[in-house]
Amino acid sequence: MSGYLQRSKANKKQGKRLWFVIKDKVLYTYAASEDVAALESQPLLGFVLKVDPLQKMQLKLYHKNTLYYIFKADDVQTAQRWIESVQRSHSALTLTINTFFFFFTSVLSEFCTKHLETPC
């Protein structure tokens, strides 16, 4: 997913229009769409996107219940595409973490049974 959004910090009213790209669960920030070097990169792990039903073009990115950034899309359809893209990134992260946890507990259980002769 890529496109222009207006981004502002939680404590500022005026935002800056920037080009954003979500790739491999990371949000990249560019000054313009033709730029090749990102200004910033922010892994999305641990972030939550919240949307106010009264401000459908505005997206709020939180980390540990702290407002990190406010994004504003040009229209409701664009905002919805960004929401879905962030949700897909989050779902993939959750799936990866759950898969790792399942693998780890299976290995641990097998180790305990084999070497300790008792389930863990």
Torsions phi, psi for 93 (to 5 deg): -65, -45
Which of 55, 75, 66, 84 is closest to 5 using CA atoms?
75
DSSP assignment of the chain: -EEEEEEEETT-S--EEEEEEEETTEEEEESSTT-SS-SEEEE-TTEEEEE-TT-TTEEEEEETTEEEEEEE-SSHHHHHHHHHHHHHHHHHHHHHHHHHHHHHHHHHHHHIIIIISS--
Q: pLDDT 10s per residue in the chain (120 long)? A: 999 999 998 777 778 999 999 998 899 999 999 999 999 999 988 888 888 888 889 999 888 889 989 999 999 999 989 988 888 776 644 434 344 444 445 555 665 666 666 665
Q: Whole-model pTM?
A: 0.72
Question: Domains in the chain, start-ordered, CATH in brackets?
Answer: 2-116 (2.30.29.30)
Contact 8, 15 (CB under 8 A): yes
